[in-house]
Amino acid sequence: MLRIAIQSKGRLNEESTALLKELGIEIDDAKRKFLSQSANFPLEVLYLRDDDIPQVVAAGTASLGIVGLNEVEEKGLKVKVIEKLGFGGCRISLAIPKAEAYDGPQWFEGKRIATSYPNILKRFLDKNGVHASIEVITGSVEVAPAAGIADAIFDIVSSGGTLVSNGLKEVERVFESEAVLISSGKLTEDEEKLLAEILFRFESVKVSRGKKYILMNIPQSAVEEAIRILPAMRSPTVMPLAAEGWCSLHSVVNAADLWDKIRQLKAIGAEGILVLGVDKIIP
């Protein structure tokens, strides 16, 4: 039995739960308390505050965890980062009142900086030879300058909206983060096998992200051109239609390229184009 720690509520909870579901691991959310067991995979889910996840995994109380890389880096505990998960993207940045002129890290010399990430901040200041006072606060860091508690902040930024609405500007992007899968590195042989199965499934989830399945009817004479437009995993599937001189062509495309491909395909005579979502791709 593998045990994974995920955030009980907050920004990473929903996507962590959704990821387990995408991996075909059913967790009964309705009965969710502190610990719940999957009905169809030997996995137990432990729901915690994100701050506690690196520690619980480092201690081996949970073999795996899903948490922001920022928490892993800040805690500095011995855990293995196994996979970046592609959600919870953010950065930890230094921000100062927007009217201030900024001329580089030396601006922070002798200043007070409010943050919930003192360790990551200290490493940045040391690297740049800057001496500043670090004021550790746990919530609403962004109001510290207006409240007179600090001259600057070092906090998580994603859209940047919170900084703007607090009259601040981002001046140094110090640490890039996203949700990661971590491990204690102390798995039993059986647990390693379960982890390998999870990683195998995750690979197919990753490959299928942002992909669309596209099928269409196309004149036989345009097939070669269509294959050039639609390189698939090997090559597109082409099947003859009952109607003389026509084929059905199937392929997988990146969602981002979809409309461009459709325009090109229509230009060479494609008809009846159907676009479907892709659930899993096993390479």
List interacting residues with Zn ion (CB under 5 A): 50-51
Q: Which residue has the tokens 């059905």?
A: 248
Our finding on whether 34 is near ligand PRT (CB under 6 A) is no
**Using rule CB under 6 A, residue 152 touches ligand PRT:** no
Site string for ligand PRT, 69-108 (x = CB under 6 A): -xx----------------x-x------------------
Cβ burial of 104 (10 Å; 0-12, 13-18, 19+) is exposed
Name which of Zn ion, ligand PRT, none residue 155 binds, using a CB cut-off of 5 to 8 Å depending on partner kind.
ligand PRT
DSSP alpha helix (H) spans, 89-222 = 118-127, 161-165, 189-208
Taking CB within 5 to 8 Å according to partner kind, which of ligand PRT, Zn ion, none is near residue 92? none
Yes or no: say if 43 and 2 are a contact pair by the CB < 8 Å rule. Answer: yes
Helix (H) / strand (E) containing 247: strand 246-254
Comparing every residue's Cβ against ligand PRT, the nearest one is 68
Query: Which one of 9-17, 191-199, 225-233, 242-250 is the stretch in contact with ligand PRT (CB under 6 A)?
Result: 9-17
Cβ nearer to ligand PRT, comparing 177 with 208: 177
Q: Which of 207, 231, 195, 199 is nearest to 283 (CA)?
A: 207
* Smallest separation, CB 53 to Zn ion (Å): 9
C-alpha gyration radius of the chain? 25
Using CB under 6 A as the binding rule, whether residue 63 contacts ligand PRT is answered as no
Do residues 144 and 165 touch, judged by C-beta distance below 8 A?
Answer: no
DSSP 194-233: HHHHHHHHHHHHHHHTTEEEEEEEEEGGGHHHHHHH---S
Nearer to ligand PRT, 114 or 222 (CB): 114
**What is the smallest separation between the CB atom of 12 and ligand PRT, expressed in angstroms?**
5
By CB under 6 A, name the one of 16, 115, 166, 177 that touches ligand PRT. Answer: 177
Q: What values do phi and psi take at 22, rounded to 5?
A: -60, -30
Binding pattern for the stretch 225-244 against ligand PRT, x by CB under 6 A and - elsewhere: --------------------
Under the rule (CB under 6 A), what is the footprint of ligand PRT? 7, 10-12, 49-51, 68, 70-71, 88, 90, 142, 155-162, 177
